[in-house]
Structure 1
Amino acid sequence: MNDDFITPLLAWFSQEAADLPWRNTRDPYRIWLSEIMLQQTQVSTVIPYYERFLETYPTVHDLAAASQDELLKQWEGLGYYSRARNLHTAAKQIVSEYNGQLPTNADELQHLKGIGRYTAGAIASIAFGEAVPVLDGNVIRVFTRLFDIADDVRQQNTQKHLWQIAEELIKAVPEGRAGDYNQALMELGRTICKPQNPLCERCPIAEHCFALKNNVQNERPIKTKKPPTPHYDVTCGLIWNEDGQLLITKRRDDALLGGLWEFPGGKIEEGETLEACLARELREELGIKVEVGTLYMRVKHAYTHFKITLHAFNCHLMANSPPPSCHDCQAFQWVSVSELSDYAFSRADRYIIEDLQNRQYRLL
């Protein structure tokens, strides 16, 4: 395994490393938080969330003591909400099982909720200097180009091979520089060795890159095509009471977007009209009978593995409807339009809230 690229890579990182708020610290709590937030999320998006989060929860004890509702509201808009729930659970583990201190090695870190091999390696190498590798999408792209690996990176055997490469290379990293090396690989993939149009002319390790020598850098990494993203029509009810309040429900923790609040409703079944779907979903979720009124708005939104069109209808409880009760939710609440801002919602519902509040403001 040719490791000649390590020295120029580290030299480049020493000169060109981006000035990021989690870079000038060895505080394992801050490094852990940054690594969780950076999963599936761009650096520019993470920075303001990271800074606000630390203002609210400056220590792991503060995070462990937070309520889930508070935490999800703080996380609102960052997406992938299971990260926030896992972060909360892990903080409680750290306080109760580790005396408020993060474990200092990668193996032990993986005992914490939401920390897998990659995240454990990042925290252990950056915060504690442990010589353990990382392998994320950026590093995979660098390795497949650097060594011209022509295997499908979505295959388990290829992933195993890439981890073996990473484990061998970390042994050649100068003592005490494992964290810098891992960050350098990730930064190179993010800023230079990009998915499309890599900036090979600016790459500090271009002379060591076999894909570049073979003029196949734009063909690496090889990935099998994902199946087409499914689309679903989903309904939700803006259920008004006589006081001008709206009924909102809290999703179960084990559901998609668990712990977030929403306008109740659900996915259309084959052969259903939108109105029939909404009436059925509200009956199943809350045990209520509603009069489905006019369509308020439609929202298109993409999640990681599927897309939805959310159809929001104005609704009222029928005179003979039982009061709401949680059949398939954690809780429900009647709130004013202005109070909706106090609750954590998904992005799709947030579009509806913004429109409701803008209309209310115009009526004042």
Structure 2
Amino acid sequence: MTPPSIASRLLPWYQQSGRHDLPWRQSRDPYLLYLAEIMLQQTRVETVKPYFRRFLARFPSWQALADASLDEVLALWSGLGYYARARNAHAAARMVVDRFQGEFPTDLVQALELPGVGRSTAAAVLASAYGQRQAILDANARRVLFRYHGLTGSMRSPQNERLLWQLAEQETPAMAHDYNQAIQDLGALLCLSRKARCDECPLLGPCAGPCEPTQIPQPEKPVRYACFLLLRTEDGCVLLEKRPNRGIWGGLWALPWYALAGANEVPELAETLRNWAREEYGLRPQLGEWHSWQRHTFTHFHLEYRVIEADISVYGVGEGRRALFPFAPEQLAQLALPSPLRRLFS
């Protein structure tokens, strides 16, 4: 038997117990709503809050974000991770200003043309900013619908993806804004991936499907190893390179990175690093302190790394295949840096 609809019982609970104090829920401004949706992708609410406030203070409008340099945007995003989101937000702001007269598109098809904007993100903004009946399917809503309607198999299978979108559209009432916020909050607060708090659920009755964890266990992340060269010039500047826009830490400033096969020291590693620095960057570094191993976790792997300090003189700088740029210590705090390097420099 098909379970009764969700909205009639979910909305009263949301009015009483929803997260109305979230900073992006204080406005129906599509720019604020868009920014929150982008930042919240794969990132916890408590992590996003301070970034959202700082970002909005510096870039309060589409125009302000479009006028900024990508370096400025990445610097303010630094530490939030998933940097493609920042690059997409910057490109989307320019598209909104150039093609849509400075307004988030009111049409779903046009909204999906913005870089980094998927169906659920576009729908969330359209429902909240413009009052449209648009269904969302973020991770929380997906989990609630999957359990409530008793689906089986992988939540991400093509068949279940189609079914979940059908159910999302079926369950979403005409006043979609509050409902979309409510189903997100139900998933975030009660219908948890693990240890769902079913006894507090406002849907009043068992779901058609069991409330055990619905995520497929993830395999152990592989580990990669690297050395970072912390190169200092005679006048105390640190040499950094700009990472490519695609790939790890895309568009950020970083130390030169030498990949290792494992954590064990290879024979003559110091000589290998000196040769590598000469061939790649045209430098002849004098290696100094070797820092202890550290770990940084990415989405798909762990990075075990150690920093090796080195000095260079102006006479050791030549022509290499890749460019390095000097920054005085007081400039480092203003750069778009990966969080491990920001911690190192601070």
Fold shared per TM-score above 0.5? yes
Q: Where does 1:24-43 land on structure 2 (aligned, <5 Å)?
A: 24-43=26-45
Retained in 2: the 8 A contact 1:235–1:277?
no
Retained in 2: the 8 A contact 1:236–1:278?
no
Asked if residue 185 in structure 1 is aligned to residue 183 in structure 2, the reply is: yes
CA distance change for structure 1 residues 135 and 284 in 2, over 3 Å: closer, same or farther?
Answer: farther
Distance 1:332 1:319 in 2: 13
- 1:202 aligned residue: 200
What is the percent sequence identity of the aligned residues?
34
- 1:237 aligned residue: 229
Q: Where does 1:279-358 land on structure 2 (aligned, <5 Å)?
A: 279=274, 281-283=276-278, 285-317=280-312, 321-323=316-318, 327-328=321-322, 332-354=324-346
Kindly state the Cα deviation for residue 347 of structure 1 after the two structures are TM-superposed: 1.2
CA distance change for structure 1 residues 107 and 253 in 2, over 3 Å: closer, same or farther?
Answer: same
Q: Where does 1:114-263 land on structure 2 (aligned, <5 Å)?
A: 114-170=116-172, 173=173, 175=174, 177-207=175-205, 209-211=207-209, 216-219=210-213, 221=214, 223-263=215-255
Kindly state the Cα deviation for residue 155 of structure 1 after the two structures are TM-superposed: 2.3
Distance 1:236 1:116 in 2: 36
Q: Which runs of 5+ in 2 are unaligned?
A: none
Retained in 1: the 8 A contact 2:239–2:255?
yes
Which of 73, 77, 100 is 1:75 aligned to? 77
CA distance change for structure 1 residues 244 and 225 in 2, over 3 Å: closer, same or farther?
Answer: same
Q: Deviations over 1:30-63 (max 9, x none)?
A: 0000101111111111111111111111110000
Distance 1:275 1:118 in 2: 50
Kindly state the Cα deviation for residue 297 of structure 1 after the two structures are TM-superposed: 3.8
Give the SS at the match of 2:227.
Answer: strand
Q: Deviations over 1:253-289 (max 9, x none)?
A: 2232121111112322479555356445534542333
- 1:103 aligned residue: 105
Q: Deviations over 1:300-343 (max 9, x none)?
A: 11011111111110113378744365x34xx6322233332121
Retained in 1: the 8 A contact 2:31–2:104?
yes
Distance 1:277 1:207 in 2: 65
Aligned Cα root-mean-square deviation (Å): 2.2
CA distance change for structure 1 residues 279 and 27 in 2, over 3 Å: closer, same or farther?
Answer: same
Retained in 1: the 8 A contact 2:3–2:208?
no
Distance 2:130 2:4 in 1: 23
Q: Which amino acid aligns with 1:218?
A: E
CA distance change for structure 1 residues 280 and 303 in 2, over 3 Å: closer, same or farther?
Answer: farther
- TM-score (normalizing by structure 2): 0.91
My pick for the range that moved more, 286-295 or 338-347, is 286-295
Aligned residues: 341
